[in-house]
Amino acid sequence: MTMKRHFDEDLDVLRGKLLEMGGLCEDMIHDAVKILTERDEVYLADVQAKEGRVNDLHIEIDEVALRLIALHQPAAGDLRLIAAALKINSDLERIGDQAVNIAETGIYLARMPRIKLGDIPRMVEVAVGMTKDSLDAFSRRDVELARSVIARDDEEDALKSQTFNELIGLMQSDASTIQRGMDIILVARNLERIADHATNIAEDVIFMVLGKDIRHHAEEKAAAAERSPEP
């Protein structure tokens, strides 16, 4: 018969803190992008306040996870959850940093005449969707949703390249747009990095649920090795 453990309550605390941090990061991306699209600097304070809480959670989650390892010597699914939590914690903190970068760039751009944003609006949609779904996949232990997040990373990469090309063309034709064009390229880069972190989180979810490490195309390599085994 399966026994309810006090340890499960500690794991719930860990999960709760990660989900709180994830929610804050999603909000930070939304707020940062509003500075850019609505040209309203009021959102900067929101981003900064949330960053403070995200940084606190970054430390708290590491502390909780290390305490659980030290005191409970977890194994199997418990160990994989804690290992995943430590990695997801780092990725979320980086997502928060990228949102701050977008907000700070947005402040400069909001004070300057508008230029076209390329595929930035679609990039925001993809990056925010990936971040949200990676956290939902973590919360629900949903491997299929995690795989769908990973699949979307290629779209974000393609959008970034498209935005780069479009803005390089603009800057070549009009030198007065160089500073703003460079800043929008940086925002595209920030969004692409957010999508990369969401992909990492999705990979960690798959490891947590299945115990399978799929990073760096490990699945494809294993399948290829099976098809053509070494002599």
Partner 1 sequence: MVKIMEMPTKPTVPTPAQAPAPQRLSMEVQGLKASYGGGWVVKGVDLRFYEKVITAIIGPSGCGKSTLIRCLNRMHEVLPSARMEGEVLLDGQPIMGLDPVALRRQVGMVFQRPNPFPTMSIAQNVAAGLVLNGVTDRAVLAESVESSLRKAALWDEVKDKLSAPGQSLSGGQQQRLCIARALAVEPRVLLLDEPCSALDPIATARIEELLLELKSHLTIVIVTHNMQQAARVSDYTAFLLTGELVEYGVTHELFTKPSDKRTEDYITGRFG
Q: Which residues bind partner 1 (CB under 8 A)?
A: 1-3, 5, 7, 73-80, 210-212, 229-230
Q: How far is the CB of 141 from partner 1 (least distance, A)?
A: 14
CA distance 139 to 26: 15
Is there a contact between 20 and 58 (Cβ–Cβ < 8 Å)? no
Q: Which is nearer to partner 1, 140 or 221 (CB)?
A: 221
CA distance 42 to 136: 29
Residue with tokens 């949330």: 50
Q: How far is the CB of 78 from partner 1 (least distance, A)?
A: 5
Q: How far is the CB of 137 from partner 1 (least distance, A)?
A: 18
Q: How far is the CB of 4 from partner 1 (least distance, A)?
A: 8
> Residue 170, Cβ neighbours under 10 Å: how many?
17
Q: How far is the CB of 212 from partner 1 (least distance, A)?
A: 8
Q: Which is nearer to partner 1, 2 or 173 (CB)?
A: 2
Q: Which is nearer to partner 1, 169 or 211 (CB)?
A: 211
- Residue 54's nearest CA partner among 83, 29, 80, 34 is 29
CA 116 vs. chain centroid, Å, equals: 25
Q: Which is nearer to partner 1, 43 or 138 (CB)?
A: 138
Q: What are phi and psi of 228, to 5 degrees?
A: -130, 80
